[in-house]
Amino acid sequence: MPETILVVEDESIIAQDLQTILEDLGYFVPAIADSGELAIQKTAEINPDLILMDIRLLGEMDGIAAAKQISDRFDIPVVYITAHADEVTLRRAKITEPLGYIIKPFEQRELRTTIEIALYKHQMERQLRENAQWLATVLNSISDGVITTDCKACITFINPIAETLTGWSLNNAVGTDAREVFKIINETTRKSVNSPINQVLETGKIGTLPEHTLLVRKDGTEVPIEDSAAPITNYKGTTPIKDSIGSITGTVLIFRDVTQQRLAAQKLHSQAFYDALTNLPNRAWFMERLTDAVERVKRHPDYLFAVLFLDLDRFKVVNDGLGHTVGDRLLVAVAARLLKSVRLIDTVARLGGDEFAILLENLPNEHEAYKVAQRIQQELSISFNLNGQEVFTNASMGIVLSSIGYEQIEELLRDADIAMYRAKAKGRGRYEVFDTVMRSQVLSVLQLENDLRQAFERDELIVYYQPIVSLTTQEIVSFEALVRWHHPQRGLICAAEFIPIAEEIGLIVPIDRWVLREACRQMKAWQEERQISSSSTISVNLSSRDLIQPNLVEQIRQILDETGLEASSLNLEITESAIIENPESAAVLLAELKALGIGLSLDDFGKGYSSLNYLHRFPIDLIKIDRSFISRILESLEIVRAIVTLGNSLGLKIVAEGVETSEQLALLQQLSCQYAQGYLFSPPRQIKF
């Protein structure tokens, strides 16, 4: 499509002649104007590609004035074609920025050349303006800061993001030395960092900032940044050349605030290597530290470290009985006490659940590890006050020393776990140091654990009964039901050997229910066969795990209904340690059991924390003096006397456990103890009348 040209000429003959020439040259001339006012009107109507403007026109407005208004209102190039070329006219015309100036008379060839050059220049200028607008939009909208400088490192431009990051406005920054606007320091050393702008101007190569660089804003605040800087050259090639054919005219610097990236990286690192609850290092981080320690021993054979593997005692009881919120608070409190017990160079980690591990590094000798274990025991022996709730716990600990020699950290942790398992098996709240004999022993226990799972399913458990005798009449007044395990290879196994394992693996509650049902069924059968006194009772032990079962009372009521045994014929034995874990809920539970008509005994009396307190708080019918006092009754005579006197004064029945000699029996009778049980009368056995 031919370009459209508007001819503005006050002499009609010249205008028509010019129109003919232009059309012969292939242009389209839709209109001719002879005044400035008409020229502006026609420009608005036809929007030409070019205007050929005479300076002298009809009316009050000449061509220069008309061109000025057209330039202000429209993006249309103007070429002056006139006979007037005096200096004054040229200066006026220059202000309107024409794209050509043709003096009459002109040649047709000159006219075409001037028009084509004007059209091309206007097209290029329009494209440059569009590019500039596009670039300005990009620079003002991108999320990175952009700064440009001249060859002397003075600011020539900064975009809005750069204004925000530096604290400098564009007006204040332009012309200022870049080192003043873009002031950077090292985050660690706090020393100034060489500006990448200066590096680029000196080398002509793209430059970047070192890591951990901070931008110091105008107000003194600091922002972590990353950046890159590149040279601006007047060389058309792609490689900057600092010589006669190409020179650096400035630099462009692009930088960004990496605060959020750092926070995200820190969060990812924290999630990957730290426990969310306690903020201790997690298993992954502990394994990294442990790997470093093992490698250090390989380089320095005299280097000694130790690993302590901890498992909280009775944590599941606390967690299940008091709720997960209290359990979590306990873990946080334990973590704080563990940190308090070690040095800054040591590592305390939470491996998961209630398991913790401690890496003690650069030890002078193995006894230092034992001292740390003892400090931990002392710290954990103090009760925890968790939002008004008093909680007791301790930890079973296994210790492994690097002097044994390990190539694989997995083996080290395995042996620490074995030592911890041994500590738990020996009574908890203690530590054990690993040795090679221990591994085979613990593996035997683990095998026993696997066998126990099958024993319950294969009906290998048996209930034995031990009589409780009146020391006045020498008659049997009750029986205690005691579970035994008939192992297919190892024979009869007593409860002390497998009950702790059952508690650990979660079998104690179903075992206790089975024993209770069997004991009630047997007692009912003896009553129906009239083989025992109708006033006799059967005693069954309840574990601490039983006391936190939400439906315990209902289950016991159901067993009594199934077997037909009267509640008054059943006596439940509960240890002090089971009650102390949650005295408030225990009081409610025991009251409900008492309301059913069931008798309640406090087992192992005198062995726990505050036995006398429980006699007042709980509806106890009977107390059983712990066998440890009876076995050394001569040394414990006054204690036994006090217990018997207290029980009698409170109207409680007193049973002495573990009576094995006639001397013990005689002393108990002298103290007016009412009942006793032990091997002197009968060992636990399967009783058949």
What is the model's pTM? 0.48
d(CA 625, CA 531): 28
Token duo for residue 134 = 């596009």
Averaged pLDDT, 34-62: 88
Averaged pLDDT, 515-531: 91
Token duo for residue 525 = 């059968």
Give the mean pLDDT of the chain.
Answer: 85
**Which is higher by pLDDT, 128 or 476?**
476
In this predicted structure, which of 104-108, 192-196, 323-327 has the lowest mean pLDDT? 104-108
Q: What pLDDT score was predicted for residue 143?
A: 66
Does pLDDT of 238 surpass 60? no
What does the pLDDT look like over 2-31, one tens digit per residue? 889 999 888 888 888 888 888 888 899 898
d(CA 28, CA 8): 14
Q: What pLDDT score was predicted for residue 251?
A: 86
Does pLDDT of 347 surpass 90? yes
| Rounded (5°) CA angle 513-515-519 | 120
CA atoms in the 13 A half-sphere facing the CB of 454 = 7
Please, what CATH class does the domain formed by 5-138 belong to? alpha beta
d(CA 443, CA 463): 27
Task: Report the C-alpha dihedral over residues 283, 284, 288, 290, rounded to 10 degrees.
Answer: 20
Superfamily of domain 274-434: Reverse transcriptase/Diguanylate cyclase domain (3.30.70.270)
Alpha carbon separation from 573 to 365, 510, 652, 678 (Å, rounded): 47, 17, 14, 16
* Architecture of the 451-676 domain: Alpha-Beta Barrel (3.20)
Taking a C-beta distance cutoff of 8 angstroms, is the pair 372, 394 a contact? no
What does the pLDDT look like over 247-291, one tens digit per residue? 778 888 888 888 777 777 667 766 677 888 999 998 888 999 999
Token duo for residue 98 = 């024409």
DSSP code string of 385-412: EETTEEE--EEEEEEEEGGG--S-HHHH
d(CA 423, CA 663): 36
Superfamily of domain 142-263: PAS domain (3.30.450.20)
Averaged pLDDT, 472-487: 93
What does the pLDDT look like over 603-641, one tens digit per residue? 877 765 445 666 677 889 999 998 989 999 898 899 899
d(CA 636, CA 615): 21
d(CA 419, CA 431): 8
Taking a C-beta distance cutoff of 8 angstroms, is the pair 600, 593 a contact? yes
Q: What pLDDT score was predicted for residue 239?
A: 46
Taking a C-beta distance cutoff of 8 angstroms, is the pair 311, 418 a contact? no
Helix (H, G, I), strand (E, B) or coil at 69: helix
Taking a C-beta distance cutoff of 8 angstroms, is the pair 79, 115 a contact? yes
Q: What pLDDT score was predicted for residue 141?
A: 59
Does pLDDT of 1 surpass 60? yes
Q: What pLDDT score was predicted for residue 241?
A: 41
Tokens 């020996």 map to which residue?
A: 426
d(CA 499, CA 452): 10
**Burial grade of 436 (CB within 10 A; 0-12, 13-18, 19 or more):** exposed
Phi and psi of 626, rounded to 5°? -60, 140
Taking a C-beta distance cutoff of 8 angstroms, is the pair 562, 517 a contact? yes
pLDDT classification of 139: cutoffs 50, 70, 90: low
Tokens 């991108």 map to which residue?
A: 142
Q: What pLDDT score was predicted for residue 140?
A: 62
Token duo for residue 618 = 């709980």
In this predicted structure, which of 123-137, 342-356, 475-489 has the lowest mean pLDDT? 123-137
Q: What pLDDT score was predicted for residue 359?
A: 95
d(CA 100, CA 117): 8
| Residue boundaries of the structural domains of the chain | 5-138, 142-263, 274-434, 451-676
Q: What pLDDT score was predicted for residue 133?
A: 66
